Amino acid sequence: MTFQNTRDYARQLDAQDALAKYRDEFLFPKVNGKQVIYFTGNSLGLQPKRTKAFVDEVMDDWANLAVEGHFYAEKPWWDYHERFAAPLGKIVGAKPSEVTVMNTLTVNLHLLMVSFYKPGGKRYKILCEAKAFPSDQYMLQSQVRFHGYDPKDAIVELERREGEHNIRLEDILAKIDEVGDELALVLIGGVNYYTGQVFDIKTITAAGHKAGALVGWDLAHAAGNIKLELHDWNVDFAAWCSYKYMNSGPGNASGCFIHEKHHADKTLNRFAGWWGHNKARRFKMEPDFDPVEGADGWQVSNLPILSLAPYLASVEMFAEVGMDALIEKRDRITSYLEFILHEIGNEVSSSFEIITPSDPFQRASQLSVFLHGEGRPLFDYLMKNGVITDWREPNVIRLAPVPLYCSFEDMYDFGQILKQGIVSQ
């Protein structure tokens, strides 16, 4: 497609956008009295307007029913989480029984590793990407120490080649083959938070299994952002946060996937709690744990309904839109943003290096831009002029044109503000 860097053209794209109406479903901050251009949905999504009604419903039920809300609320609390199974399954490509909601992301990864990191003998190593999100690094280090291993030995990091920003698939597959029968677990982020690189989950999962390892994924930047087929790809387990692309609110509940092939395996270790106990007998207060068969059997505690309410509001919106429509707009608006960056770079003779892969199959709703010759003052200028973006050392801004609420005209306006910020420095 041949793009144009004009306001009229951007508005033409918006007029053709089937998802344009959803922009009005969100609340935008304002800077200098004007609605912002919001590029940080990869950190915290905007609040959907419908969220308040979902939260108010729970508050009203609490006020009017108190403890009886567990069974007699319009959406009873004791099975509130079950409303997520079907729509979340469609978002991540899973059977309803394979997904659940609980806790927060890193807590869930720890709980899942109780079941799926089973080191023994010579098979004890974990493969992850170098420069993974720090929480994953801390989690992996503490897990291997808990099992009595040295992280420097037990954790194998996938490195980028000298002078390259992204990890090549062939290097991942070669490393899996190299570690071989010492490999216990592959655990990688589905989308690298820093570069925005999307990994080939299907191919990597198959390679990990061929080596005899289990394979899990941190989908913090992937869920609600990329096409996922976790069941068909035979992924063992995955977890994701809900507050980035799924707009559930700061620090909100996490989602989990456990492939059905593991559901009936009573030999798997797990940290149990009563909410994962046989639902039909949960209130019998029995002494021995009998897990629900399915992902719900990994739940531990009574669920935080006030946290789940905003998540349910967003998940219902995703069910209306569908991932295919989201991905179609995502690819188009990300390509338009890439075009705008190149156009502005040419106009002001600045070298913007986009370190996110240019291949649409290896990127999603994020462009990470290395600002050669520019520094933190440019980021500060953008923020003061209503462009909410993200700064990462040493000199990178991350731009996430989320398809549910970003417009093509936003991309044009960003380019004009960026140009003014450069020439005014």
41-64 residue pLDDT tens: 999 999 999 999 999 999 999 999
One domain, residues 243 and 336: no
Residue type, 191: V
- Mutual angle of helices 408-423 and 376-384, in 10-degree steps: 130
One domain, residues 337 and 411: yes
Determine contact, residues 297/263, Cβ cutoff 8 Å.
Answer: yes
pLDDT beyond 80 at 156: yes
Alpha-helix residue ranges (DSSP H) falling in 122-190: 134-146, 151-154, 169-179
pLDDT of residue 371: 84
pLDDT beyond 80 at 351: no
Beta pairing partners, 291: 277
Taking residues 279-289, report their average pLDDT. Answer: 88
pLDDT beyond 80 at 80: yes
Nearby residues of 10 by Cβ (< 8 Å), 6 or more positions away: 336, 407, 408, 409, 411, 412
pLDDT of residue 411: 98
Nearby residues of 141 by Cβ (< 8 Å), 6 or more positions away: 151, 155
Q: Is residue 393 part of a domain?
A: yes
Taking residues 339-359, report their average pLDDT. Answer: 90
Beta pairing partners, 157: 128
Q: DSSP label at 402?
A: -
* pTM (global) more than 0.85: yes
190-230 residue pLDDT tens: 999 999 999 999 999 999 999 999 999 999 999 999 999 99
Q: Is residue 42 part of a domain?
A: no
CATH number at residue 404: 3.90.1150.10
Write a three-state SS string for 263-290. CCCCCCCCCCCHHHECHHHHHHCCCCCC
CATH number at residue 212: 3.40.640.10
pLDDT of residue 280: 87
How far apart are the C-alpha atoms of 326 and 335, rounded to whole Å? 14
Determine contact, residues 99/84, Cβ cutoff 8 Å.
Answer: yes
Q: Is residue 68 part of a domain?
A: yes
Question: Two tokens at 251?
Answer: 């620090």
pLDDT of residue 375: 76
pLDDT of residue 410: 98
Taking residues 121-136, report their average pLDDT. Answer: 93
pLDDT beyond 90 at 423: no
One domain, residues 74 and 120: yes
What percentage of the chain reaches a pLDDT higher than 90?
89
Q: Number of helices (H) and strands (E), helices first, in the chain?
A: 13, 17
Q: Is residue 23 part of a domain?
A: yes
One domain, residues 333 and 312: no
Q: Is residue 358 part of a domain?
A: yes
Q: Up-side HSE of residue 50: CA atoms within 13 Å toward CB?
A: 14
pLDDT of residue 393: 83
One domain, residues 183 and 311: yes
Tally of structural domains, the chain = 2
One domain, residues 64 and 84: yes
One domain, residues 224 and 253: yes
Place of tokens 């609040």: 47
Integer CA distances (angstroms), 184 to 149, 181, 210, 255, in order: 13, 8, 12, 24
pLDDT beyond 80 at 373: no
Question: Two tokens at 226?
Answer: 């990329």
Beta pairing partners, 40: 400
Taking residues 256-262, report their average pLDDT. Answer: 98
Q: Is residue 45 part of a domain?
A: no
Q: How confident is the model at residue 398 (pLDDT cuts 50, 70, 90)?
A: very high
**Last residue within a domain, chosen from 321, 341, 372:** 321
Taking residues 235-263, report their average pLDDT. Answer: 97
Nearest in space to 155 (alpha carbons), one of 138, 174, 168, 171: 138
Determine contact, residues 144/77, Cβ cutoff 8 Å.
Answer: no
Taking residues 25-37, report their average pLDDT. Answer: 97
**E strands along 159-260, which residues?**
183-189, 214-218, 237-241, 254-258
Residue type, 417: I
Q: Which long-range contacts (CB under 8 A, 24 or more apart) does 82-85 make?
A: 82/296, 83/312, 84/255, 84/308, 84/311, 84/312, 84/315
One domain, residues 154 and 97: yes
Determine contact, residues 374/425, Cβ cutoff 8 Å.
Answer: yes
How far apart are the C-alpha atoms of 223 and 245, rounded to whole Å? 7
Question: Two tokens at 300?
Answer: 């531990």
One domain, residues 181 and 146: yes
pLDDT of residue 352: 80
pLDDT of residue 395: 86
Q: How confident is the model at residue 327 (pLDDT cuts 50, 70, 90)?
A: very high
Q: How many residues does the structure list for the chain? A: 425
One domain, residues 311 and 327: no
Q: Which domain holds residue 228?
A: 53-321
Q: How confident is the model at residue 424 (pLDDT cuts 50, 70, 90)?
A: confident
**Last residue within a domain, chosen from 292, 321, 350:** 321
pLDDT of residue 380: 93
Determine contact, residues 415/348, Cβ cutoff 8 Å.
Answer: no
How far apart are the C-alpha atoms of 113 and 412, rounded to whole Å? 44
pLDDT of residue 95: 98
Mean pLDDT rounded to a whole number for the chain? 95
pLDDT of residue 253: 94
One domain, residues 326 and 316: no
**Last residue within a domain, chosen from 321, 351, 383:** 321
220-240 residue pLDDT tens: 999 999 999 999 999 999 999
One domain, residues 116 and 143: yes
Q: Is residue 414 part of a domain?
A: yes
Kindly give the pairing relationship between strand 396-399 and strand 390-392: antiparallel
